[in-house]
Every structure is written in C-alpha cells, then in structure tokens.
Amino acid sequence: MKEQIHEELAALQSELSKLDGAVKHIENAKQLAKDIVKTGHELQTKYKEQLIEVKDLIAKHKELVGRAEKLVEKIDKVDFPVRLDKLDTSVTTINQGLQNNQAKLENLWLDLKDEIEESQKVLSDKLTSLKDDMNAFKAEVDNQFSIIQKEIKLVKILGIAIIIFCIGIIVIGILK
C-alpha cells in the first residue's frame, strides 16, 4: 500500500518537474516581452530625435526662403543690368540649394517613414509570435493541470477505498 502511494507521489513529482520547464518558458516569454518594449522605446526615441532634426531643417529651409525673398526684392530695386545679371545668378544658385534641401528633406522623410513602417511590422510580428507562444504554453499548462487533477481524484478514490476496506476488516473482526 505504501509502495503504491510512493509510486503515486513519484509520478506526481515527475509531473511537477515537467511544470518547471513551463515556468522557464514563461520567464523567457517575459524577457522577450521586456526586450520588445525596450526596442519600442528605443525606436520611439530615435524617431523623436529625427523629428527634431527634420523640424530644424524645415526652420532653416524657411529661413533660407525668407532670405531669398528679401534678396529678390533688393534685386528688383537695383536698376543696373549688369548687377541684375550677377544677382540673378546668385538667386538661381540659392534656389537650386533650396530645391536640393527640399529633395533631401523628402528623401529623409521617405526613409524615416519606411524605417518606422518596417519597425512596426517587426514589432507586430514579434508580438504575434509571442501571443502564439503564450497560447501554446497556456494549452500545455492546462493539459498538465488536467492530468494532475485526474491523479488527485484517483488518489482520493484510493484513499476512500482503503478507509472503507479497513472499516470493513474492523467490522468483520468485531463481528467474529
């Protein structure tokens, strides 16, 4: 009888050791979630820094546009054909620089947008993978829990049967 109880306890201990692996999976999933959150924060910080740079470039661009407009006004006031030709050349150069800056800003914005979309996709994929892992882990834990519950019921039934058997022997002994 004791041997059977020891066997049942050993089986129960074996099942509990299996749960230890599940706990480790949970810890790994927790660390993965922390890493994902950290990566998200890093991406957000990088995005904010680049946004500040873009705003600075836009401010510089507006400043250059303002200067160019003032320069055009001064050129209009000058009535010398030679000076107008020189100033026209200067304005053309400035406008080309502005167009180059605008093209760079557009390229920077597109690159930033692509990087953000890619980061969002990676984060979404990681979150989906994490959800799938968590669901699989939950199913495994539920399965193990069900097995343990069945074993506990069996131990209870065996205990009750042993008690009834002992009471029966005592009653038979008293009746004899």
* pLDDT at 78 (0 to 100): 59
Sign of the dihedral defined by the CA atoms of residues 99, 100, 101, 105, in that order: positive
* pLDDT at 113 (0 to 100): 92
Distance CA 147, CA 15 (A): 9
CB 158 within 8 A of CB 9: no
What are the C-alpha distances in Å from 156 to residues 77, 88, 105, 163, 167? 105, 100, 75, 11, 16
Residue 138 token pair: 């939950």
* pLDDT at 51 (0 to 100): 85
- Residue 22 belongs to domain spanning: 2-175
* pLDDT at 79 (0 to 100): 63
CB 31 within 8 A of CB 156: no
- Which amino acid makes up residue 94? I
Dihedral pair phi/psi, residue 75, rounded to 5°:
-65, -40
Distance CA 71, CA 152 (A): 91
- Residue whose structure tokens are 């605008």: 102
CB burial of 32-54 (b: ≥16 within 10 Å; e: otherwise) equals beeebeeeeeebeeeeeebeeee
Global confidence as pTM: 0.34
* Total count of domains within the chain: 1
* pLDDT at 118 (0 to 100): 93
* pLDDT at 156 (0 to 100): 93
| pLDDT tens-digit profile, the chain (176 residues) | 778 888 877 877 777 777 777 778 888 888 888 888 888 898 889 988 888 988 898 899 889 889 988 888 887 775 667 767 888 889 899 999 899 999 999 999 999 999 999 999 998 998 899 899 899 989 998 999 999 999 999 999 999 999 999 998 888 888 87
